[in-house]
Amino acid sequence: MIKVGIVGGTGYTGVELLRLLAGHPEVEIEAITSRSEAGLAVDELYPNLRGHYPGLAFSEPDPVRLAACDAVFFATPHGVAHALAGELLERGTRVIDLSADFRLKDAEEWAQWYGQPHGAPGLLEAAVYGLPEVNRDAIRQARLIAVPGCYPTAVQLGLLPLLEQRLIDLDHVIADCKSGVTGAGRGAKVSSLLAEASESMKAYGASGHRHLPEIRQGLAQAAGQAVGLTFVPHLTPMIRGIHATLYARLTSEPGDLQALFEQRFADEPAVDVMPFGSHPETRSVKGTDICRLAVHRPGGGDTVVVLAVIDNLVKGASGQAIQNLNLMFGFDEMAGLQAPALMP
Amino acid sequence: MIKVGIVGGTGYTGVELLRLLAGHPEVEIEAITSRSEAGLAVDELYPNLRGHYPGLAFSEPDPVRLAACDAVFFATPHGVAHALAGELLERGTRVIDLSADFRLKDAEEWAQWYGQPHGAPGLLEAAVYGLPEVNRDAIRQARLIAVPGCYPTAVQLGLLPLLEQRLIDLDHVIADCKSGVTGAGRGAKVSSLLAEASESMKAYGASGHRHLPEIRQGLAQAAGQAVGLTFVPHLTPMIRGIHATLYARLTSEPGDLQALFEQRFADEPAVDVMPFGSHPETRSVKGTDICRLAVHRPGGGDTVVVLAVIDNLVKGASGQAIQNLNLMFGFDEMAGLQAPALMP
Amino acid sequence: MIKVGIVGGTGYTGVELLRLLAGHPEVEIEAITSRSEAGLAVDELYPNLRGHYPGLAFSEPDPVRLAACDAVFFATPHGVAHALAGELLERGTRVIDLSADFRLKDAEEWAQWYGQPHGAPGLLEAAVYGLPEVNRDAIRQARLIAVPGCYPTAVQLGLLPLLEQRLIDLDHVIADCKSGVTGAGRGAKVSSLLAEASESMKAYGASGHRHLPEIRQGLAQAAGQAVGLTFVPHLTPMIRGIHATLYARLTSEPGDLQALFEQRFADEPAVDVMPFGSHPETRSVKGTDICRLAVHRPGGGDTVVVLAVIDNLVKGASGQAIQNLNLMFGFDEMAGLQAPALMP
Amino acid sequence: MIKVGIVGGTGYTGVELLRLLAGHPEVEIEAITSRSEAGLAVDELYPNLRGHYPGLAFSEPDPVRLAACDAVFFATPHGVAHALAGELLERGTRVIDLSADFRLKDAEEWAQWYGQPHGAPGLLEAAVYGLPEVNRDAIRQARLIAVPGCYPTAVQLGLLPLLEQRLIDLDHVIADCKSGVTGAGRGAKVSSLLAEASESMKAYGASGHRHLPEIRQGLAQAAGQAVGLTFVPHLTPMIRGIHATLYARLTSEPGDLQALFEQRFADEPAVDVMPFGSHPETRSVKGTDICRLAVHRPGGGDTVVVLAVIDNLVKGASGQAIQNLNLMFGFDEMAGLQAPALMP
């Protein structure tokens, strides 16, 4: 049993950590912090947790108590982990940050997209980008994990085999992504109201989105060179789920695309390659840490289409964070992440 | 480990059994039958099960193979269990029927509501109504279980304390119930299309619904006399969930209503009494076997309002069926039923 | 052509006035005010209006400009009309208030429910409760209209015939109401987020809701005495619509209930009595000023059930406001309100 | 006043014709046919029409009665108009076909995609493709109109300016389209159930969809040569609406893209070009005949992104059919199509 803390537990990724960890055999919650809700029982805010964490309440963030944990998750807005991670790491506590604070390797690029200076550039070198399908060995040794964003997870997993094999035109890759509304968090925004977001579909950030540099960084690493990506996210009238539809132009005859994908992910417990020409549904991964993929080559032409679905709150956030935790502490990689999706 | 079979596995309650049993430590699936889909892998119909039941396919119902199971679930339309249950029971296999076939004790009343003669009246005496909160001891000894319907479960649990204590006017009880669309099953009906049922609310069966005699039978047993019930179900634009709003007129000063409910369900693992005046949400029980209750007495008057929520596919069907199985075989009553609700 | 102003136009009832008035042959918009959005074009906030109101922008409330209107709608939170209505009335402008400011005849009761003193008790006597089905003649002469609330409209219309004929037990009437989320307005509240309100059903205000005294006042007027009402509203995962399910106990043999309802509403252009035993759907009135009703008498017993559906933003607010305007100015009562509901 | 008939009126495009024509000043319904529902009042199937078409019932298709109409709409599955259109045309009745029967100019290509021989190849030459933004003059003279499909309308309108000016790589155009479920019609299919299609997003037909040849035909005409199109439609959990996200690679510096689009559609009553960089929402056109467009050029690079939204049942079907009717009979082009979208 290890002890973990959660900083910023009132948002959707915080409660999702609690939901998933309720079934984890090796973890107990030592503290969950929230400045705004300190003192409130977690199951008063999230009644689905009634009976699962008796006595657990949100508390003011207390560095001493957090440092007594084996690992601390940050489920916070950007900037918060910058301020606190260093102290925890010095005291020997491992940090798993679900925010964007340590995802970009370039502190200046971070500052540009987030409109403020990077608060802990000295930690960037030690931070490991927590995509197990790329960095599993480094994750096992890591003390500071930057959990990938939701869109970046889906897009990278869908493109990795094509990029690593250099099969496509690297200047013109398109990621058309559709996300449920929890991607916008639990903040009270008019645009996220049921009355505004339901029964409608719209793009947003088509001319620039904060996940763009993160995706580009990941794609470039896989391809060994810069990748020209057009990324258009869309707000979809559902609670959870991301559907990434990825388009690339083949530059050489690729051989058996299906075999390529199956082999690339053969040993990956969180990636499921469906039969060629399938159409994965986001609901098939709802509540789970699985990324489900399918490959298409319409009309046998030179365009390859990859369909990738994840649950933005699980494989796109809290589930992947736990997958990282499991690797860091030598647990079964999918401990706490085994339940099938809720369907229907 | 026991072996179980599922007859009629392609519907929502069938797949829900598979979803829940995937995490059950004491059960393995021996067979899942479907005449229409025989030969099809279960995870082809329900991709959320990919990786959980490798090799499991729907098969033609084979009495010999089913009789080799310790228990068989019927997740079938009414009438099917009538025909098959007897043979299985004779061979020593226990039967847990999720359909309406054995819920009514009176075969003639059954025939009236279902428009066909009862096919196995000889089994009615042995059948135990599988509401653990009322019949736990009988369930432990039972060989044939009639799993309660979804509406009957919510309505009975919400009214039991008031009926058992004879606190209310038994001639005028009202159950206004709201159900998600999975209550109508997986059949391809126009009225269940997203385009028809979404963005709308309507009552149905206000002048008579098949669950009415079942509810009345249960209420009468609790009250020790017939209960005059008005039951109006409503179709709600959501996938899962039942919200029962129950109205009764107090005939004597009831004392502490909250204490009454808390005491009645103090030892019930599947019933959660919330603080007085709470408003339980159906999503707080989504995917779980929990019935969450709250009691109101508006304006301190003589009307008591009970709010009860369940997931119609879990506590209202497959989860309750497993709860019965657990009792019958001496497992932890909530084995396989422990995960918190998916929320948001 | 008359000139109208709208105070507080950024909320859902404000934009709904614009949507409906776009097709009104006798009305032009002189001004639409909003302190927070002054200067913004209305179609920038509501792109559905692009092309319909070229050049119209929200403006600071200017009493002189408003007083130049023939009529002014208040689509504001409670309290605002208290402050402004008097001045407009003095200058000869008629006021149609969609808020709760003038609905209750008793200023002290208002103060109790709204937690602040009534700001214009001197206007209460002149204010006419704008339910055309009850007060048509008074509305025609009125200078100040209190447009009924959404729940009160549905509940009163459904109960009027029973109350006026004194057919039911007046001490135990139950109104179980289900509303779409626009009933909560356009405010940015966590509880109204799609991620919170979708895929769930819950009651709220079961122990007391601000519409309760308004409903009671209306029921008492119809019955000629106080009516004991239990009112439980529910939040339903849809954008628009109210479904009221009304339960009453018959105290004498009522004769032909269907005829009673049909006769009561025979000349009402905004009330549609469906055949006996029908189940009206909220979507059948979406976007329209119609209240659709159906009567049930389950099992021929002593309980009558009335089902009433309206669009909370139209018959429950802006449409009814326009219906009042039409009556006040001698237009066709349903001018601008003729389009069929959008279905599917 | 002209008399129109509707063949196949029970589906979504049939009832949408009725909804829109209820407000058309120049049209009266002479007959609406349905073999399966003959004798049923239209407002029994679609209660939103109660009060709008008193006495109108579905009737058996009767060629004589239909031929007495000035125009007949076919809102039928493919193949039906093949069989009946010729006779009506011979008798002088104009035909507006909402199905796919006359959209493809090549009868063999039609036979290939629809799996049956073309039933009226002799009429193909006279058939006019009813996209007013391309064929307005021909529509005015036409006697047989093939109303464009929903996806083809959105995709063509979004790409026309780029194709006509030959600004893009014609070999690699991508149309990522998202549609509400009414695109699948009113048929009772499991995949269209609320319980299946809600809370999920999926692609379908990614390797080939019947709208593909129609779109290619239209794009080729605009470009003056064949266009290599990848078209991936997605099922979106909403009732109405199509969002087309269109990607093309610029082959030369395009100048002012916004001005290009604004000029192209300056005189088009059914196309609204939003400011550069906008994100149109499908709900902003719900119930209307408007196509709303916005242009993006992410990062100023060589990829242009066009966002186009329509209501699949209106501009994508019944509204566009009426727009054609208006042109054919010299009415105001937007008669009956003026109401703003229902929003929220």
What are the respective helix, strand and coil percentages of chain B, to the nearest 5? Answer: 35, 20, 40
Which chains lie within 8 Å of chain C at 3 or more CB pairs, if any? A, B, D
Does D177 participate in catalysis according to the annotation? no
Same domain membership, residue B185 and residue B48: no
**Contacts with D, B 218-237, CB within 8 Å:** 237
**Tens digits of residue pLDDT in D184-235:** 999 999 999 999 999 999 999 998 889 999 999 999 999 999 999 999 999 9
* Residues contacting B279, CB < 8 A, separation 6+: B294, B307, C202, C203, C204, C206
Q: Is A199 at the interface with chain D, CB within 8 A?
A: yes
Q: Is B56 at the interface with chain A, CB within 8 A?
A: no
- Best to test chain C binding among D50, D239, D315 (most C CBs inside 10 Å): D50
Q: How far is Cα A16 from Cα A33, in angstroms, rounded to an integer?
A: 14
Q: Is A205 helix (H, G, I), strand (E, B) or coil?
A: coil
Q: Between C12, C52, C340, which is nearest D19 by CB?
A: C340
Same domain membership, residue C225 and residue C86: no
**A208 pLDDT more than 90:** no
Residue B207 pLDDT class (50, 70, 90 cuts) = confident
| Res D246: pLDDT | 98
D186/B189 Cβ within 8 A: no
B189/D188 Cβ within 8 A: yes
Whether the full predicted model's pTM is greater than 0.90, yes or no, is yes
In a domain, C180, yes or no: yes
Q: Are C304 and C257 in contact (CB under 8 A)?
A: yes
Q: Between B207, B238, B277, which is nearest C237 by CB?
A: B238
Same domain membership, residue C158 and residue C304: yes
Q: How far is Cα C106 from Cα C174, in angstroms, rounded to an integer?
A: 24
Handedness of CA D306, D312, D315, D321 (dihedral sign): positive
Cis geometry, peptide bond prior to residue D344 (ω within 30 degrees of 0):
yes
Q: Is B202 helix (H, G, I), strand (E, B) or coil?
A: strand
Q: Between A195, A238, A239, which is nearest C181 by CB?
A: A195
Residue A63 pLDDT class (50, 70, 90 cuts) = very high
What does DSSP assign to residue A28?
E
Handedness of CA A160, A165, A166, A167 (dihedral sign): negative
Handedness of CA A328, A329, A332, A337 (dihedral sign): negative
Q: Is D54 at the interface with chain C, CB within 8 A?
A: no
B240/A280 Cβ within 8 A: no
| Res C9: pLDDT | 86
Q: How far is Cα A32 from Cα D86, in angstroms, rounded to an integer?
A: 74
**Tens digits of residue pLDDT in D16-52:** 999 999 999 999 999 999 999 999 999 999 999 999 9
Q: What is the predicted ipTM? A: 0.97
Helix axes A132-141, A150-164, angle to 10 degrees: 110
CB pairs under 8 A between A and B: 88
B251 neighbourhood in chain C, CB within 8 Å: none
Residue B39 pLDDT class (50, 70, 90 cuts) = very high
Same domain membership, residue A224 and residue A158: yes
Closest-CA residue to A32 (of A18, A49, A47): A18
Burial of A206 (0-12, 13-18, 19+ CB in 10 A): buried
Same domain membership, residue A304 and residue A161: yes
Q: How far is Cα B11 from Cα B75, in angstroms, rounded to an integer?
A: 7
Q: Is D298 at the interface with chain A, CB within 8 A?
A: yes
Q: Are B96 and B145 in contact (CB under 8 A)?
A: yes
Same domain membership, residue B20 and residue B157: no
The owner of tokens 């106990």 is C249
Same domain membership, residue B51 and residue B11: yes
Give the distance from residue B185's alpha carbon to the nearest chain D alpha carbon, in angstroms: 9
What does DSSP assign to residue C317?
I
- What would the two tokens of residue C276 be? 């006996």
* Residues contacting D51, CB < 8 A, separation 6+: C272, C290, D43
Which chains lie within 8 Å of chain B at 3 or more CB pairs, if any? A, C, D
The percentage of residues in chain D with a pLDDT greater than 90, rounded to a whole number, is 99
In a domain, B75, yes or no: yes
Q: For B274, how many CA atoms within 13 A lie in the half-sphere containing its CB?
A: 26
Q: Give the residue from A76, A91, A126 where a domain finishes.
A: A126
Handedness of CA A174, A180, A181, A184 (dihedral sign): negative
A198/C198 Cβ within 8 A: yes
> What does the angle CA C13 – CA C17 – CA C20 come to, to the nearest 5 degrees?
130
In a domain, B327, yes or no: no
Tell me which amino acid residue D62 is: D
Structural domain boundaries enclosing B241 = 150-312
The distance of Cα A25 from the centroid of its chain, to the nearest Å, equals: 22
B240/A182 Cβ within 8 A: no
Same domain membership, residue B159 and residue B29: no
B19/A340 Cβ within 8 A: yes
B312 neighbourhood in chain D, CB within 8 Å: none
Closest-CA residue to C204 (of C179, C239, C174, C225): C179
Q: How far is Cα D15 from Cα C340, in angstroms, rounded to an integer?
A: 11
**B12 pLDDT more than 90:** yes
**B298 pLDDT more than 90:** yes
Q: Is C172 at the interface with chain D, CB within 8 A?
A: no
The distance of Cα B133 from the centroid of its chain, to the nearest Å, equals: 12
In angstroms, the first-to-last Cα distance of chain B is 34
Same domain membership, residue D194 and residue D283: yes
**D9 pLDDT more than 90:** no
Closest-CA residue to C334 (of C260, C244, C271): C271
Residue B2 pLDDT class (50, 70, 90 cuts) = very high
Residues in chain C with pLDDT values less than 50: none
The distance of Cα B308 from the centroid of its chain, to the nearest Å, equals: 14
Q: Is A239 at the interface with chain D, CB within 8 A?
A: yes
User: Across residues A24-49, what is the average pLDDT?
Assistant: 96
The percentage of residues in chain D with a pLDDT greater than 70, rounded to a whole number, is 100
- Nearest residue in C to D198, CA atom: C199
In a domain, D199, yes or no: yes
Q: How far is Cα C240 from Cα B200, in angstroms, rounded to an integer?
A: 8
In a domain, B330, yes or no: no
Q: Is B277 at the interface with chain A, CB within 8 A?
A: no
Q: Give the residue from C126, C142, C167 where a domain finishes.
A: C126
A228/D301 Cβ within 8 A: yes
Q: Is B191 at the interface with chain C, CB within 8 A?
A: no
Give the distance from residue B157's alpha carbon to the nearest chain A alpha carbon, in angstroms: 19
Closest-CA residue to D182 (of A69, B195, B19, B140): B195
**Tens digits of residue pLDDT in A254-291:** 999 999 999 999 999 999 999 999 999 999 999 999 99
B204 neighbourhood in chain C, CB within 8 Å: 279
**Tens digits of residue pLDDT in D222-237:** 999 999 999 999 999 9
Report the CATH number that the domain containing residue A11 is assigned in CATH.
Answer: 3.40.50.720
| Res A207: pLDDT | 87
Q: How far is Cα C19 from Cα C40, in angstroms, rounded to an integer?
A: 17
In a domain, B339, yes or no: no
**A9 pLDDT more than 90:** no
- Strand A202-203 to strand A173-179: parallel, antiparallel, or no bridges (unpaired)? unpaired
Same domain membership, residue A114 and residue A14: yes
| Res C138: pLDDT | 98
Burial of A267 (0-12, 13-18, 19+ CB in 10 A): exposed
Q: Is D39 at the interface with chain A, CB within 8 A?
A: no
Q: Between C192, C199, C238, which is nearest A193 by CB?
A: C192
- Best to test chain B binding among A53, A337, A343 (most B CBs inside 10 Å): A343
Tell me which amino acid residue D106 is: D
D207/A296 Cβ within 8 A: yes
Q: Between A47, A281, A287, which is nearest B284 by CB?
A: A47
What does DSSP assign to residue B53?
S
Q: Is C202 at the interface with chain B, CB within 8 A?
A: yes
Report the CATH number that the domain containing residue D206 is assigned in CATH.
Answer: 3.30.360.10
| Res C191: pLDDT | 95
- Nearest residue in D to C288, CA atom: D48
- Report the number of distinct structural domains present in chain B: 2
- Nearest residue in D to C285, CA atom: D48
| Res B143: pLDDT | 98
How many other C-beta atoms can be found within 10 angstroms of the C-beta atom of residue D253?
Answer: 7
Catalytic residue list of C: 150
Same domain membership, residue C295 and residue C158: yes
In a domain, C327, yes or no: no
Q: Is B172 at the interface with chain C, CB within 8 A?
A: yes
**Tens digits of residue pLDDT in B138-175:** 999 999 999 999 999 999 999 999 999 999 999 999 99
In a domain, C261, yes or no: yes
Same domain membership, residue B296 and residue B201: yes
**Contacts with B, D 3-32, CB within 8 Å:** 12
Which chains lie within 8 Å of chain D at 3 or more CB pairs, if any? A, B, C
C10 neighbourhood in chain A, CB within 8 Å: none
B193/D192 Cβ within 8 A: yes
CB pairs under 8 A between B and C: 149
| Res C35: pLDDT | 93
Q: Between A48, A339, A343, which is nearest B284 by CB?
A: A48
Q: Between D198, D199, D340, which is nearest C22 by CB?
A: D340
- Strand B71-74 to strand B2-7: parallel, antiparallel, or no bridges (unpaired)? parallel
3-state per-residue secondary structure call for chain D: CEEEEEECCCCHHHHHHHHHHCCCCCEEEEEEECCCCCCCEHHHHCHHHCCCCCCCEEECCCHHHHHCCCEEEECCCCCHHHHHHHHHHHCCCEEEECCCCCCCCCHHHHHHHHCCCCCCHHHCCCCEECCHHHHHHHHHHCCEEECCCHHHHHHHHHHHHHHHCCCECCCCEEEEEEECHHHHCCCCCHHHEHHHHCCCCEECCCCCCCHHHHHHHHHHHHHCCCCCEEEEEEECCCCCCEEEEEEEEECCCCCCHHHHHHHHCCCCCCEEECCCCCCCEHHHHCCCCCEEEEEECHHHCCEEEEEEEECCCHHHHHHHHHHHHHHHHCCCCCCCCCCCCCCC
Alpha helices, DSSP H, located in chain A: 12-21, 42-45, 63-67, 80-90, 107-114, 132-141, 150-164, 194-197, 211-223, 257-264, 319-329
Cα separation values, A1 from A6, A95, A331, C260, Å = 16, 17, 10, 71
**Tens digits of residue pLDDT in D259-270:** 999 999 999 999
Cα separation values, C279 from C115, C244, C299, Å = 39, 11, 16
What is the spatial order of strands in the sheet that C144-146 belongs to? C58-59, C27-33, C2-7, C71-74, C94-97, C144-146, C128-129
Q: Is B195 at the interface with chain D, CB within 8 A?
A: yes
- Nearest residue in C to D313, CA atom: C344
Q: Between A201, A238, A282, which is nearest D243 by CB?
A: A201
- What would the two tokens of residue D245 be? 């996200």
